[in-house]
Amino acid sequence: MVFRDFRAGGVIGKECDIYTDQLDEFKRIKKKYTDLTYNEYWSNQQNWSLSSLYPERYKNQQEFFEQYFIPLLDQTQYVCDLASANGEWSMKVAPYVNAIDGFEYASGMVEFANKEAEKKGILNARFYQADACALQFDKLYDNFMMMGLLTCIFDDSDALNIVRKVYQAIRKGGHLIVKDSMNVAGEDVIYLYNFLSRYDAIYRSKEQYYKLFEQAGFVMERDTVFHEVDKAGLAFESVGVIWKKE
């Protein structure tokens, strides 16, 4: 059973994680620990992969990706991976396409991804440091990946702007694959700050999350739940979706 009581401002989980449904409270907590606006957890990473943290979720993400995204690709295509992290998902795509561009905020991961691609002899994947909120795409992509980004974007107008920019950057008939974690225990948005790892996240309700894409013009083709988690009396789902620009 899911029990949520935010009367005290938030709930604290067993892993030094604080959850709240109030953005001001979240900002106040975060400010106690850091002056940085960008997520400190990510900026310190070089070779982050979900596979070591949540192997089952990773396996389901990989199956969904292989079953529904890879078959959309061909050797003529240009693909974009926004929030490319250590580059592993782009490198899975590289053999099937003409070229793939990865954009990622954390410079350590960008450096790692470019070195790794070079080491593996992957010549058609390039990784660039960029903030998704400010980035302007200078190409039209055939298909697009944006997995895990919106869980890091706190402002709804930033999130909607990103989704709109992505929509503009995809050719008609192209697809977008996303995956993010959502709050499935209610209507509210839930904010997380972990004062040990410095990880922070926003968990929108499924309805709010899907609306971001629908408002931008995308049509849902399929979705699936990769993983369900109960933490501190709250319920979250990691969900994968394929959206189409018709």
Residue 152 contacts ligand SAM per CB under 6 A? yes
Residue 150 contacts ligand SAM per CB under 6 A? no
> Rounded to the nearest whole angstrom, what is the least distance from the CB of residue 104 to ligand SAM in the complex?
5
Only one of the segments 110-118, 129-137, 206-214, 222-230 lies at the binding site for ligand SAM (rule: CB under 6 A); that segment is: 129-137
Between 42 and 144, CB nearer to ligand SAM = 42
Binding mask 196-235 for ligand SAM (x = CB under 6 A): ----------------------------------------
> Rounded to the nearest whole angstrom, what is the least distance from the CB of residue 102 to ligand SAM in the complex?
9
Between 77 and 90, CB nearer to ligand SAM = 90
**15-74 residues near ligand SAM, rule: CB under 6 A:** 42, 50
Number of residues that bind ligand SAM (CB under 6 A): 16
Residue 106 contacts ligand SAM per CB under 6 A? yes
Residue 160 contacts ligand SAM per CB under 6 A? no
Q: Which of 17, 101, 104, 142 binds ligand SAM (CB under 6 A)?
A: 104
The closest alpha carbon to 173, from 225, 245, 103, belongs to 245
DSSP the chain: ------TTS-EE-TTSEEEES-HHHHHHHHHHH-S-SS-HHHHT-SS--HHHH-HHHHHHHHHHIIIIIGGG--TT-EEEEES-TTSHHHHHHGGGSSEEEEEES-HHHHHHHHHHHHHTT--SEEEEE--TTT----S-EEEEEEES-GGG---HHHHHHHHHHHHHTEEEEEEEEEEEEEE-SSSS-EEEEETTT--EEEEEEHHHHHHHHHHHT-EEEEEEEEEEEEETTEEEEEEEEEEE--
Binding footprint of ligand SAM on the chain (CB under 6 A): 42, 50, 83, 85, 89, 104-106, 109, 131-133, 147-149, 152
